[in-house]
Amino acid sequence: MRVLITGASEGIGRGIALGLAARGADLVLAGRRLDPLEKVAEECRRAGGRALGIAADVSVASDRERLIAETLARLGGLDTLINNAGRGHYGAVDTIDADEFAATLLLNTIAPTDLTRRALPALRASKGVVAMISSVAGVVAAPGLGAYAASKFALEAVSASLRAELFADGVAVVMVRPGPVQTEFRAHATRGVPRPARERRFEETVDAVAKAAIRAILNRDPVVETSTYVRAASLLGRVAPGAFRIVGRRMAAPKHG
């Protein structure tokens, strides 16, 4: 299985890379920093796969073009593209800076869309899989998550169109929706805030999310919601939007005392 995965130097991307390496995958690992990618590539080789790190900032069009060209040269084709690189953006909507919002949309929505477009000839040839690492915030928007949720909702919308467009070509689109995961994601956010205690109770391990993502990719499932927390929030948002609005109001209310 020939795989390109973005954001593979740590967190969820590293976890998926190691899991696929253990299944003998041939991996290209992308991220902005080469050093940590090379360390993960070595870990992947020890786990039983083949792996190469390529430094690329997926927010930059010329890097996306080079990444696809170098990936195809290395792998000789592509079976699975995993769009995982992403960044959080926390803060109430009345604090959102327009440039920071644009950068969030560029990395979380436009970059995976364009990388996928560039990879499509190879994925059509292999009848492969595009996996998008979305979020519970791609289907329900909580207070303080306006910009981030917008980027993941938009990714979900693009992916739903893409799935229908690619059906006749035999290319599958897999949406992975984690809830809070034990990574440095919040520290790396455009505006990082510590994870609230109520959310820490629902944190998943990288290993659990990686296993769920790999299973969905191998089964070509349209969607995987990786925890009970995500499935409950997603269901509540769809079947009881009024109740969800009340929960949101309570979460947003200023705390006294």
Ligand X SMILES: NC(=O)c1ccc[n+]([C@@H]2O[C@H](COP(=O)([O-])OP(=O)(O)OC[C@H]3O[C@@H](n4cnc5c(N)ncnc54)[C@H](OP(=O)(O)O)[C@@H]3O)[C@@H](O)[C@H]2O)c1
Which residue blocks in 167-205 are alpha helix, DSSP H?
A: 185-188, 197-200
Residue 181: CA count within 13 A, CB half-sphere: 28
User: How far is it, in rounded angstroms, from Cα 121 to Cα 20?
Assistant: 23
Instruction: Rule CB under 6 A: say whether 116 interacts with ligand X.
Output: no
Instruction: Rule CB under 6 A: say whether 79 interacts with ligand X.
Output: no
Please identify, among the stretches 17-25, 92-100, 165-173, 183-191, the one whose residues bind ligand X according to the rule CB under 6 A: 183-191
Nearest approach in angstroms of CB 43 to ligand X is 13
* Among positions 2, 4, 6, 153, the unique one binding ligand X when judged by CB under 6 A: 6
- Catalytic choice (101, 148, 185, 229): 148
Residue 95, C-beta contacts closer than 8 angstroms, at least 6 positions apart: 191
Instruction: Rule CB under 6 A: say whether 146 interacts with ligand X.
Output: no
| Other CB atoms within 10 A of residue 80 CB | 25
Q: What is the DSSP string of 15-75?
A: HHHHHHHTTT-EEEEEES-HHHHHHHHHHHHHHT-EEEEEE--TTSHHHHHHHHHHHHHHH
* Among positions 2, 4, 5, 7, the unique one binding ligand X when judged by CB under 6 A: 7
Nearest approach in angstroms of CB 127 to ligand X is 25
229 is catalytic: no
Instruction: Rule CB under 6 A: say whether 128 interacts with ligand X.
Output: no
| Residues engaged in binding ligand X (CB under 6 A) | 6-13, 30-33, 57-59, 84-87, 107, 133, 135, 178, 180-181, 183-185, 188
Residues with a known catalytic role? 148
